[in-house]
C-alpha cells in the first residue's frame, strides 16, 4: 500500500507545534489531546519519509527536513488562504469575468447601456463583449468563448436555455428620394422589384427576408451584401437600393427624415431578441447576475419610435 499523501491539516498542526514550542501547548490551544497531535505529526513524518522534530529533553527542535517543510508549509497554507479569499470574492461578485455577445442592433444600441448599469453595480467584474451576427453569436456560446448571447430566436437552439428579452421590429428603409418613398404602404411585388441591400447569411435580419421571399417563391434582387447595418443605412441613403433594418437602429435617421419607413401590405416584420446560454453548463455567477439585470433593465424599454 502506498504511503498516504501529507495533507493540509497535518501541515497546520505542524506549524502550530512550531509556533507554540511543544505538542502539549499546541494541543491546549487547538483543543486537541496531546496524543492526537503526536499521531498526526507521526503520519506526516511517514508520508514524507523523514522526521521533522528531534526531542532533546523536554524540548523539540526542527530537523533539517522539518525546516525545509516549514518553508513550504507556510507557502502552501498562504496559497490556500488566497484561493479561498478569491473564491469568496467571486461568490460575492467582487471579481470574475462576464463574457457576453449580442447581434448587431442589440449589441450596438442596447447592450452598452446594460453593461454600464452592470459595471456600476459590480465594478470588480471584468467585461468581455462582442457584436456579431446571430449564427456566429450562438456559435461563440457553444464553443465556450462567451457565457451568454442575445440573439433572435431561431430553430436549432435545443441545447440552449432561451428567455425572451425584447421585440426587434423591422421595417423597409428607403431614401426619401426613392420612387416609392412617398407611399407609406407598398405591395410585396413592389418591394421584391427593388434592388436590396442585404445582410450576410447567418444574420437574423437576412433570415427574415429570405423566409419572406421563400414563402412567396420569389428571388430577392440583391444590390449588395454587407456585414454591417451601419453601412446598409449609408448605402440606402446613397440610393444603392432599399433594405430592411431594425427600427431601434434607425431612430435618428427616421426622425431626421434621411430615411423613410415603408410598410409592406399585410406583412409585419419582427424578430424577438432572446438571451441564450448552454443548457448543460452552469451559468457563471456574473453571467447569472447579468441576466437578471438585463431583464430588469428592459422591463419598460420602448422600441417604437415616437
Closest CB to ligand PGA among residues 10, 246: 246
Measured N-to-C along each axis, helices 34-48 and 8-20 cross at an angle, to the nearest 10 degrees, of 120
Closest CB to ligand PGA among residues 134, 147: 134
Residues that bind ligand PGA (CB under 6 A): 103-106, 133-134, 152, 199, 203-205, 246
Closest CB to ligand PGA among residues 10, 104: 104
Nearest-approach distance from CB 261 to ligand PGA, in angstroms? 16
Q: 129: part of which helix (H) or strand (E)? A: strand 125-132
Nearest-approach distance from CB 165 to ligand PGA, in angstroms? 11
Closest CB to ligand PGA among residues 125, 203: 203
Closest CB to ligand PGA among residues 40, 297: 297
Task: Check if the beta carbon of residue 168 is closer than 8 Å to that of residue 105.
Answer: yes
Inter-CA distances, 217 with 53, 102, 200, 263, Å: 88, 31, 20, 20
DSSP string of 79-130?
HHHHHHHHHHHHHTTSSEEEEEEEEHHIIIIIHHHHHHHHHHH-TTEEEEEE
Measured N-to-C along each axis, helices 8-20 and 23-30 cross at an angle, to the nearest 10 degrees, of 120
Task: Check if the beta carbon of residue 285 is closer than 8 Å to that of residue 93.
Answer: yes
Nearest-approach distance from CB 109 to ligand PGA, in angstroms? 9
Closest CB to ligand PGA among residues 73, 101: 101
Q: Cα separation of 153 and 162, whole Å? A: 8
Nearest-approach distance from CB 164 to ligand PGA, in angstroms? 14
Closest CB to ligand PGA among residues 10, 105: 105
Largest CA distance in the chain: 107
Strands 196-199 and 242-246, by their bridges, are: parallel
Inter-CA distances, 253 with 168, 176, 181, 204, 248, Å: 17, 11, 14, 22, 11
Nearest-approach distance from CB 97 to ligand PGA, in angstroms? 23
Nearest-approach distance from CB 246 to ligand PGA, in angstroms? 5
Nearest-approach distance from CB 236 to ligand PGA, in angstroms? 15
Asked whether the CA dihedral 141, 143, 144, 146 is positive or negative, the reply is negative
Amino acid at each position: 500500500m502506498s504511503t498516504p499523501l501529507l495533507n493540509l491539516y497535518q501541515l497546520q498542526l505542524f506549524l502550530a507545534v512550531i509556533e507554540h514550542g511543544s505538542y502539549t501547548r499546541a494541543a491546549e490551544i487547538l483543543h486537541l489531546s496531546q496524543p492526537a497531535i503526536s499521531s498526526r505529526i507521526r503520519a506526516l513524518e511517514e508520508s514524507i519519509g523523514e522526521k521533522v522534530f528531534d526531542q532533546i529533553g523536554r524540548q523539540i527542535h526542527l530537523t533539517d527536513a522539518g525546516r525545509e517543510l516549514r518553508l513550504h508549509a507556510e507557502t502552501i497554507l498562504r496559497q490556500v488562504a488566497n484561493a479561498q479569499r478569491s473564491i469568496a470574492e467571486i461568490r460575492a461578485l467582487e471579481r470574475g469575468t462576464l463574457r457576453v455577445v449580442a447581434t448587431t442592433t442589440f449589441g450596438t444600441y442596447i447592450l452598452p447601456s446594460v453593461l454600464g448599469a452592470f459595471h456600476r453595480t459590480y465594478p470588480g467584474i471584468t467585461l468581455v463583449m462582442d457584436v456579431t451576427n446571430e449564427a456566429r453569436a450562438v456559435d461563440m456560446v457553444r464553443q465556450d468563448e462567451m457565457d451568454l448571447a442575445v440573439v433572435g430566436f431561431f430553430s436549432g437552439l435545443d441545447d440552449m436555455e432561451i428567455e425572451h428579452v425584447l421585440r426587434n421590429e423591422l421595417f423597409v428603409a428607403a431614401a426619401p428620394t426613392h420612387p416609392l418613398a412617398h407611399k407609406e404602404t407598398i405591395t410585396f411585388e413592389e418591394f421584391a422589384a427593388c434592388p436590396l441591400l442585404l445582410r450576410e447569411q447567418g444574420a437574423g435580419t437576412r433570415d427574415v427576408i429570405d423566409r419572406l421571399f421563400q414563402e412567396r417563391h420569389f428571388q430577392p434582387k440583391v444590390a449588395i451584401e454587407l456585414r454591417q447595418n451601419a453601412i446598409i443605412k449609408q448605402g440606402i441613403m446613397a440610393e444603392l437600393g432599399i433594405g430592411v433594418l431594425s427600427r431601434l437602429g434607425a431612430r435618428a435617421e427616421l426622425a431626421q427624415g434621411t430615411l423613410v419607413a415603408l410598410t409592406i401590405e399585410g406583412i409585419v416584420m419582427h424578430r424577438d431578441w432572446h438571451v441564450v446560454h448552454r443548457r448543460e453548463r452552469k451559468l457563471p455567477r456574473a453571467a447569472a447576475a447579468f441576466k437578471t439585470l438585463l431583464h430588469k433593465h428592459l422591463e419598460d424599454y420602448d422600441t417604437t419610435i415616437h
